[in-house]
Amino acid sequence: MQLSRRSFARIAGTAALAGPRLSGQQRALTAQQVIERIQENAGVPWRAESLDTIKAGDAATEITGIATTSMATMDVLARASKENINLIVTLEPAFFGNKDAPLADDPVYTAKHDFIQKNRLVVWRFSDHWRARKPDPFVTGLAGALAWTKYQTGDDPSRYDLPSITLAALVDDLAKRLHARAGIRVVGDPQTRVQRVSLLPGVSMLSAMRKRLPECDVVIAGETREWESVEYAQDAVASGQKKGFIMLGRVLSEEPGMNVCAEWLKTLVPEVPVRWLPVGDPYWRPA
């Protein structure tokens, strides 16, 4: 969903009242109660210092629905509010920086914050602890979205042996399955045949690239530094190695992992509806 400047201002300035209480005699769960249930069942020790805190909204808000997302954009917030969902569980920051620090006198920050307040939303970040779960929910989520689970190699959830395919055909299949518009970038000869693949969703460092590329035909990553992993892959190809490197973009690579989060939350918080609200590929390609 693309928002024009006029639409953005209209959405930000319009308050949609929160939905009614859940039916039945049982009192609705508050955001704080949902968060505490997640903390108790996260499967990893809860850190005293963490990014996983409420970024906007009131912890005492009674929850009518939960949405998981890789990034709580204005589009995602507007869709959630329209669907009577008022707890947004986001992987990435809501306010443009890792600490979600307020941006004084910034119109975009103000409009977004005001929209959350007027629509009685609660935005809670779930990053540190969801990333720490084993097996990696982002790897298993991405493999599931690509229908690759049956191709997993051994005990390593990030390694897959596919039927032989050209790099170009593999990229086309990725774009189709992930609904990518323009964010995918590729290093390597399009006609190189690949089979063994390694998944590195999210952010990956050069050390991971140096370990994975020699073992595989192609590495599929989320986000890397161009002067590290991208250059390494370019030089590997230039040296004559039949290798490929695909960058999906951070958000696109992590989104299936937040779908996994939604499915997990459905079992943990059965009292309210839970759904995944994908951000989608944030880029478009020039003609």
Q: What is the pLDDT of residue 13?
A: 57
Q: What is the pLDDT of residue 37?
A: 98
Summarize pLDDT for 144-181 with one digit per residue, the tens. 999 999 999 888 899 999 999 999 999 999 999 999 99
Architecture of domain 137-250: 3-Layer(aba) Sandwich (3.40)
Strand order in the sheet with 274-276: 54-56, 122-125, 87-90, 66-69, 274-276
Judge whether 57 and 64 are in contact, CB under 8 Å.
no
Picking from 23-37, 110-124, 233-247, which range would have the lowest pLDDT averaged per residue?
A: 23-37
Q: What is the pLDDT of residue 15?
A: 42
Average pLDDT over residues 111-119: 98
Q: What is the pLDDT of residue 11?
A: 55
Burial tier of 194 (Cβ tally within 10 Å: 0-12, 13-18, 19+): buried
Q: Would you call 214 helix, strand, or coil by DSSP?
A: helix
Tell me the CB-side half-sphere exposure of residue 173, using CA atoms within 13 A: 14
pLDDT at 4 over 60: no
pLDDT at 21 over 50: no
Cα(202)–Cα(139) distance, integer angstroms: 9
Q: What is the pLDDT of residue 24?
A: 47
Dihedral sign from CA coordinates of 135, 141, 142, 144: positive
Domain with CATH 3.40.1390.30 in the chain: 5-132, 137-250
Match domain 5-132 to its CATH number in 1.20.1270.10, 3.40.1390.30, 3.40.190.80, 3.90.1150.10: 3.40.1390.30
Paired tokens of 153: 């190699």
Judge whether 162 and 151 are in contact, CB under 8 Å.
yes
pLDDT higher for 127 or 21?
A: 127
In this prediction, what percent of the chain has a pLDDT beyond 90? 87
pLDDT at 1 over 60: no
pLDDT higher for 243 or 287?
A: 243
> What average pLDDT is seen over the chain?
92
Picking from 2-16, 56-70, 183-197, which range would have the lowest pLDDT averaged per residue?
A: 2-16
pLDDT at 92 over 60: yes
